[in-house]
Amino acid sequence: MDDPFVLQQYNKAIHQLIEDRSSQGPNQDITLVTCCLFICLEILRGNNPEALNHLESGLKILCGQAEACASDSGNKPISKRTEVEEDLSHLFSRLNIQMSLWSRPLAPFEPGNVMDSKDLLQRFVMFSTITEARHALNNIMGKTLGFVRSVQNKCGGLQETMMAKKAVHRRVFDDWLIAFENMMNQPRKYIKTLDPRGPLILRIHHRVALIWLETCPLFDVMSFDNYWDDFEDIVSFASEVIAYNSKVNDSSNKFCLDMEIFPPVYYAAINCRHPLLRRRAIEILSTYHRQECLWEPRERTKVAELVLRIEETRLASLPVEQRIPEARDRVYEPLSSEERVLNPSRITLLFKPNGPNDNWHSETHFVHW
């Protein structure tokens, strides 16, 4: 993607955007759409750090816009925003979650028309559309990830107040699922004409976010063994999505700025130690060639295979179904350095071989993809 013509047009676009903003005042829609194009271009060039920088810039614009609305500075009220503004707002909200998954801080931004940021206890009854359900779930996931990040480095377990907050987040996920099922069970033409992949992807995201919450803070990697049923759902739903893709011959789209099935299935492949289920997850990764935002599918598949191989080294003589690694051999996290996506990729594996209270141990590997 380092084609001279592409880079020339990229530089022209940056200079034109700067010139337009300085001479005519800010046009938020044009700026944010351009920002999305820059993000896509940098991802396709393998330059994830710069893509994340563009994403942070877009989120800063939206955060500033939200603050201006809150202070009644004359900006357009949320209730009067255009459809383009709504779509951009929700897109960047979803990208905000992805940014956090790549070790950047969550931006203090969320769309203002789903769930009041001060009212996490709001009850859902029934969603009227899949879009409404998606916006609500994304809002909950953002809040949950913010909670997870706030407690992940705490020692000695969660305090009583944190446990209470965790219970609130759990209840909101339960309420969302009830409202979602109520919608899906309605005998309406709208439900029957839905692309089945949309509801399946929402179910996948719901499950993975619940695992984030329930394993927080992650003191002991063995805790993932309590969620094999949820990992089973993630893998099964993803298999249905892929089966539908094959049915409709949907193979032309090789890139998507959103997160759909690849990151959740990769999460399952890394953290689910059920040997057969884990291999099903890796099989999905190896056959799903669509790149979703920053997740380079070939590289991430090889990372998942590396983690499986390292964790099961001592178990190679056992039948596959018995290869459940002990705590000392489990990888807490495979880390990639924040640099251009290279082949081979340098991956650092983190372990606690002497128990969850032990210091971190690390190994560096190079993954060829």
Q: Is the pLDDT of residue 117 over 50?
A: no
Residue 350 lies inside a defined structural domain of this protein: no
Provide mean pLDDT across the span 159-178.
Answer: 92
Residue 256 lies inside a defined structural domain of this protein: no
Top pLDDT among 271 and 159 is at 271
Top pLDDT among 40 and 7 is at 40
For all residues of the chain together, what is the average pLDDT? 88
Q: Which two tokens stand for residue 143?
A: 């809040």
Top pLDDT among 158 and 101 is at 101
Residue 20 lies inside a defined structural domain of this protein: yes
Provide mean pLDDT across the span 27-37.
Answer: 89
pLDDT of residue 145: 94
Provide mean pLDDT across the span 13-38.
Answer: 77
Q: Which of 111-125, 194-208, 261-275 has the lowest mean pLDDT?
A: 111-125
Query: What are the tens digits of pLDDT across the range 296-350?
Result: 999 999 999 999 999 999 999 999 999 999 999 999 999 987 678 899 999 999 9
CA atoms within 13 A on the CB side of 227: 22
Total number of domains in the chain: 2
Q: What percent of the chain has pLDDT over 90?
A: 66
pLDDT of residue 153: 62
Q: Is the pLDDT of residue 246 over 70?
A: yes
Top pLDDT among 132 and 152 is at 132
Q: How far is CA 22 from CA 25, 35, 48, 53, 368, in A?
A: 6, 16, 28, 21, 45
Q: Is the pLDDT of residue 2 over 80?
A: no
Looking at the structure, do residues 118 and 185 belong to the same domain, yes or no?
yes
d(CA 280, CA 320): 12
Residue 41 lies inside a defined structural domain of this protein: yes
Top pLDDT among 303 and 11 is at 303
My answer on whether omega of the bond before 344 falls inside 30° of 0, hence cis, is yes
Looking at the structure, do residues 105 and 120 belong to the same domain, yes or no?
no
- Domain end point (choices 194, 218, 252): 194
Q: Is the pLDDT of residue 113 over 90?
A: no
Looking at the structure, do residues 163 and 176 belong to the same domain, yes or no?
yes
Residue 211 lies inside a defined structural domain of this protein: no
**pLDDT band (50, 70, 90) for residue 281:** very high
Looking at the structure, do residues 59 and 128 belong to the same domain, yes or no?
no
pLDDT of residue 118: 47
Residue 276 lies inside a defined structural domain of this protein: no
pLDDT of residue 121: 57
Looking at the structure, do residues 121 and 45 belong to the same domain, yes or no?
no
Looking at the structure, do residues 79 and 150 belong to the same domain, yes or no?
no
Residue 125 structural domain: 114-194
- Domain end point (choices 194, 222, 237): 194
Query: What are the tens digits of pLDDT across the range 57-100?
Result: 999 999 988 776 666 544 445 556 788 889 999 999 999 999 99
Q: Is the pLDDT of residue 122 over 80?
A: no
d(CA 235, CA 123): 29
Residue 49 lies inside a defined structural domain of this protein: yes
Give every CB contact of residue 249 below 8 A, 6+ residues apart in sequence.
none
Provide mean pLDDT across the span 14-22.
Answer: 69
Looking at the structure, do residues 69 and 140 belong to the same domain, yes or no?
no
